Structure 1
């Protein structure tokens, strides 16, 4: 009988140890997650899919600009986040890569840029994704060939977020 009691005590002790290790790992994951942007879907116990709020931090480049990788219409492009730009502005080359076919666009809109007045073609971007944050049907402009290098993520994307803020040198985007 003492043998069974000792065995039961040992099994109970092992179960508590496994539970404690598992609980510690879970707590550590939550502590790390507290300082980590939330990304993706979460699965809740009863099987529903719930979209998690995402808070994404983007640090400045060596020149103080906020540059990120954006996925526009399924194509990855480098993009400068620009709160002074009214819309998402794509270079001619990025527009080609994103399947917008600039040869068929009408460059009939006059826009004011940092380099002066230029002609641009209005477009609607089916989707813009930045660090897992998806915004659909985003107003944009395609610039004439050679008018601009790269893409600007302007207010037509940013105003569709829950918010954005600059804090301690990091630009935070929230959906």
Structure 2
């Protein structure tokens, strides 16, 4: 189990214990009115935190799944995009799958997280984005892994500008034998 999944599971267990304990406490009528109201507010806060967690992560089960046959299923998120998490040089990076992007485009923050210093790059290219033209620098990602699918020496571009996150474009999507949409599910197969 991944560390994030373990932490999330622990969070849900603690939340369940807090809510369950508060309900038992309230229903048993023990404690003073002020203490019962305090417990009620803790439960309300915990419930709001739980709802926010579900909203931010597109609900339970809203993440990509990877089968042993090399099939990746990515559900559409609330914003209508398909978000895929890949491991670049040992670090998880969350991408927007973008069939309109010609290649992999790393935002400066993601580049820095995987060991590439955006300040030391030669921005020799340019690209047109929704926010206008930006300068780009070619880089090579030593290792890009999605589950058991591992690619080495993957070409990408670092964007010099305000790119919040990173884009997984056609240069990488073309490495799959099949890219298809099944209702609100993006399927990638090798």
What is the CA–CA distance in structure 2 between the aligned matches of 1:160 and 1:68, rounded to whole Å?
A: 15
Aligned pairs for 1:68-147 (under 5 A) are 68-144=84-160, 146-147=161-162
Q: Contact (CA 8 Å) 2:66, 2:147: kept in 1 or not?
A: no
What is the CA–CA distance in structure 1 between the aligned matches of 2:155 and 2:66, rounded to whole Å?
A: 27
CA 1:60 to 1:162, structure 2 compared with 1: closer, same or farther past 3 Å? same
What is the CA–CA distance in structure 2 between the aligned matches of 1:81 and 1:97, rounded to whole Å?
A: 19
Cα deviation 1:67-91 (Å, max 9, x = unaligned): 1211112111111001111111000
Shift of 1:37: 4.8
CA 1:62 to 1:131, structure 2 compared with 1: closer, same or farther past 3 Å? farther
> Which residue in the other structure is 1:163 paired with?
178
Q: Contact (CA 8 Å) 2:143, 2:150: kept in 1 or not?
A: yes
More strand by share: 1
Cα deviation 1:43-74 (Å, max 9, x = unaligned): xxxxxxxxxx3111100001110012111121
Q: Note the aligned Cα RMSD (angstroms).
A: 1.6
More helix by share: 2
> Which residue in the other structure is 2:74 paired with?
58
3-state SS of paired residue (1:160): coil
Q: Contact (CA 8 Å) 1:74, 1:98: kept in 2 or not?
A: yes
CA 1:123 to 1:64, structure 2 compared with 1: closer, same or farther past 3 Å? same
Q: TM-score w.r.t. structure 1 length?
A: 0.67
3-state SS of paired residue (2:175): coil
Rg: which structure is higher? Answer: 1
Number of residues of Structure 1 aligned to a counterpart in Structure 2? 126
